[in-house]
């Protein structure tokens, strides 16, 4: 049994640290990223959406039954699609290139460079007409609640983090400040995309670890990196940030 597992995206993986150069193919997570500094097994992977993080967490925690898990959520606007045919040039979930093994692809609004011609129209239409901040928050809250129910059903202790306080914002306002307006009248946003307010209230927010600065009480590692001026060229935290973030998590958790 693995006692301590962490899930996340490239931030948690340790992209751009000394042993994980940005330009090279990613295989193993960094030995210098904050999960390794805390003695955890790092199941993060670059490019993962919150759908992918939830999927991997449920899979590996079920079979490995760790004592403790940290779920480091990604950005709200990343979407994972189950696909019959591969529409992108890049797939982070398999090393094999067989078409039948390319089951999932993750996209974001600024990832046009990785989308093949046959998939570009679909992605463009999705982010132009179907996606907005509220939909992103709704999907993230759904993934959080589903994952919390799963971990609690297995009696696994856990903590969760966001990359930034902006994960809790829609149109530059905190979602908890918008809850009343979301449900006012039959044409409220919640009627269209689902009950954000109910999901928000179902989530166990005591499981989240937030940092605080002059901007927000709900900061994450990316806000921390910005405060430290510790950001790498491709927008990943530097070693200094990983070291200090690990110290902060160690103080909060252990």
Residue 231's CATH number: 3.40.50.1110
Domain-located, residue 167: yes
Q: Assess contact for 219 and 211: CB atoms under 8 A.
A: yes
Domain-located, residue 103: no
Domain-located, residue 166: yes
Cα torsion angle, 242, 77, 49, 73, sign: positive
Number of structural domains in the chain: 1
Domain-located, residue 65: yes
Phi then psi for 2, rounded to 5 degrees? -85, 125
Residue 254 is predicted with a pLDDT of: 85
CA distance 90 to 30: 21
Residue 124 is predicted with a pLDDT of: 81
Domain-located, residue 8: yes
Domain-located, residue 112: no
Domain-located, residue 106: no
Residue 31 is predicted with a pLDDT of: 97
Q: How many CB atoms lie within 10 A of CB 226?
A: 17
CA distance 196 to 139: 9
Q: Assess contact for 25 and 92: CB atoms under 8 A.
A: no
Residue 165 region, left (φ>0) first, then alpha (ψ -120 to 50), else beta? alpha
Domain-located, residue 201: yes
Residue 94 is predicted with a pLDDT of: 44
Q: Assess contact for 72 and 253: CB atoms under 8 A.
A: no
Please, is 80 exposed, middle or buried when counting C-beta atoms within 10 Å of its C-beta (0-12, 13-18, 19+)?
buried
Question: Which range marks the domain in which residue 65 is found?
Answer: 4-77+131-253
Which residues of the chain are under the pLDDT cut of 50? 92-101
Which two tokens mark 116?
């093949």
Please, is 103 exposed, middle or buried when counting C-beta atoms within 10 Å of its C-beta (0-12, 13-18, 19+)?
middle
């Amino acid at each position: 049994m693995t006692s301590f597992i962490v899930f996340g995206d490239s931030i948690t993986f340790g992209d751009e640290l000394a042993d994980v150069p940005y330009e090279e193919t990613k295989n193993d997570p960094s030995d210098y990223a904050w999960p390794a500094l805390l003695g955890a097994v790092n199941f993060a992977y670059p490019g993962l959406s919150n759908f992918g993080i939830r999927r991997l967490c449920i899979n590996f925690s079920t079979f490995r039954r760790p004592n403790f898990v940290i779920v480091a959520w990604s950005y709200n606007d990343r979407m994972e699609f189950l696909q019959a045919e591969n529409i992108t040039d890049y797939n982070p979930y398999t090393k094999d290139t067989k078409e039948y093994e390319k089951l999932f692809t993750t996209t974001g609004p600024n990832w046009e460079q990785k989308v093949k011609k046959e998939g570009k129209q679909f992605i463009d239409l999705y982010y132009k007409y179907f996606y907005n901040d509220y939909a992103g928050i709704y999907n993230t809250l759904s993934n959080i609640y589903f994952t919390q129910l799963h971990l609690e059903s297995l009696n696994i202790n856990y903590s969760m983090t966001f990359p930034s306080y902006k994960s809790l914002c829609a149109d530059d306002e905190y979602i908890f400040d918008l809850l009343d307006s979301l449900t006012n009248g039959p044409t409220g946003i919640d009627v269209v995309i689902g009950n954000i307010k109910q999901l928000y209230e179902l989530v166990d927010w005591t499981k989240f670890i937030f940092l605080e600065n002059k901007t927000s009480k709900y900061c994450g590692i990316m806000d921390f990196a910005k405060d430290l001026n510790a950001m790498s060229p491709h927008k990943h935290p530097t070693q200094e940030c990983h070291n200090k973030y690990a110290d902060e998590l160690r103080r909060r958790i252990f």
